[in-house]
Amino acid sequence: MTLIKSISGIRGTIGGAVGENLTPPDVVKFTTAYVRLIAERNPGKKLTIVVGRDARISGQLVSDLVEGTLLACGADVINVGLCTTPGTEMAVITKHADGGIIITASHNPRQWNALKLLNADGEFLSDAEGKRVLAMAEEESYDYPTIDEIGHVLSCEDFNDEHIRQVLALPLVDVEAVRKRRFKVVIDAVNSVGGIVMPKLLRELGCEVVELNCAPTGEFAHNPEPLPQHLTEISEVIVREKADLGVVVDPDVDRLAFVSEDGSMFVEEYTLVAVADYILSENPGGVTVSNLSSSRALRDVTERHGGKYYASAVGEVNVTTKMKEVGAVIGGEGNGGVIYPGLHYGRDALVGTALFLTWLAKKGMTMTQLRATYPSYYASKNKIELTPAIDVDKVLREVKARYAGEKVNDIDGVKIDFPENWVHLRKSNTEPIIRVYTEAKSMEEADALAQRFIAEIKGICGI
């Protein structure tokens, strides 16, 4: 049983003791603190907040608590019901709301839920705003408004169709080109809200759709994180159905992975790489951004188009901040998170799918042929367990000093870019561990590089 409070919201398991899980009093406390932050930003204004949720079993329960609390705090509510994370973000923008709350624990298992907090741009709160919410949640006293100031539900409406409409209206989404290819697509939505949205989007694009785990029951058919080891079922169905490709989304539809026609993984790191390849082909010399732990393939593809690649700290808000700073035409995260500023600054599997299929149609290739056009890198993800007594920051400083002659980036842990491979070392804020991510041109090399650094760090720590 766990409750994790962070600047991006609160996440916890349903049931159990208050303050140690995501219980009703915890939901009320954090929702109240969030409204107070938005009120501080908009003195004297009657606030409107969008509420959306994924298909988790606890979704209705948490949504009712959030909605009631918002009304009690004097905010009006637009409830978009079952809606993806990017859809809820788009609703905040489209409805000119003052903020939004998405009720989803993303790729975490069924017993989890969380509140993701949005600003008036439909983007995640900044570090400072998140800290302010956490601080206000710890204050015991707050006077709720009286009867004449309580909020009202302005509307309960579906926003998914409008989100699809806006995706298909993008100039770089070539609906006709995709329709002509008549792709046969297997979609695995892990029995969450993607099951409502993704088949609809694909059919609008003229695809023949085979639905897998598309009933939005919240009973996840497999581990909901779209990693290769969890995607065995879709591989079999693609081969059996002779489909052109498979599409996999996580429960709140901000992560996107593809599977090729032979059942092999396109690999989620390459979702962003392929979409960026398309966007850069239309914007030669354009700038791209991903986080430090993402594949070097994005840098390579960006440079092929004469563009410049930038790395940001890990975390969606850090990626979008960097994208705005450098004027990126496309960006995101290696975990299948595509951020296309032409629509909005949020990871969006719908826009990712529509742009990807446009690219695949324009290239006239199969999935395996397209994949073969990208440089192959292999990532190894490991961690070192430490004791709480070890000063992790000091260890990382020591590593940095030892590799001062190399290309080192220390905006988020320590990333060392060697000519042929890289290592990224990050501490965890919740556990005494160091994450050791490496990438190289073969799996053996990536594993060997990780083992070398694990041994070196253990040496520094004397363990």
d(CA 130, CA 124): 9
For Mg ion, which is the closer residue by CB, 250 or 277?
250
Structure tokens at 218: 């919240």
Nearer to Mg ion, 174 or 250 (CB): 250
Q: Which of residues 237-256 bind Mg ion (CB under 5 A)?
A: 250, 252, 254
Tokens matching residue 431: 């556990």
63 classed as catalytic = no
Phi, psi (rounded to 5 degrees) for 115: -110, 120
Of the residues 8, 58, 63, 106, only one is catalytic, namely 106
CB of 331 to Mg ion, least distance (A): 17
Specify whether the CB–CB gap between 226 and 248 falls below 8 A: yes
Q: Residue 29 or 255: which CB sits closer to Mg ion?
A: 255
CB of 318 to Mg ion, least distance (A): 16
Shortest distance, position 254 Cβ to Mg ion, whole Å? 4
Residues 6 or more apart whose CB falls under 8 angstroms from that of 269 comprise: 294, 295, 297, 334, 335, 336, 377, 379
CB nearer to Mg ion: pick between 276 and 349: 349
Total interface residues for Mg ion by CB under 5 A: 4
Strands 99-103 and 112-118: antiparallel
Q: Report d(CA 126, CA 83) in Å as an integer.
A: 23
Which residues 260-319 are close enough to bind Mg ion by CB under 5 A? none
Least spacing, CB of residue 309 vs Mg ion, in Å: 24
Cβ closest to Mg ion, residue 114 vs residue 133: 114
106 near Mg ion, rule: CB under 5 A: yes
How far apart are CB 116 and Mg ion at their closest, in Å?
9
Do 266 and 259 form a contact (C-beta atoms < 8 A)?
yes
Rounded CA gap, 193 and 363, in Å? Answer: 30
Collapsed DSSP state (helix, strand, coil) of residue 368:
helix
Cβ-closest position to Mg ion: 106
Distance CA 302, CA 280 (A): 7
Among 66-74, 100-108, 280-288, 368-376, which window interacts with Mg ion (CB under 5 A)?
Answer: 100-108
Rule CB under 5 A: is residue 225 a binding residue for Mg ion? no
Residues that bind Mg ion (CB under 5 A): 106, 250, 252, 254
The catalytic residue positions are: 106
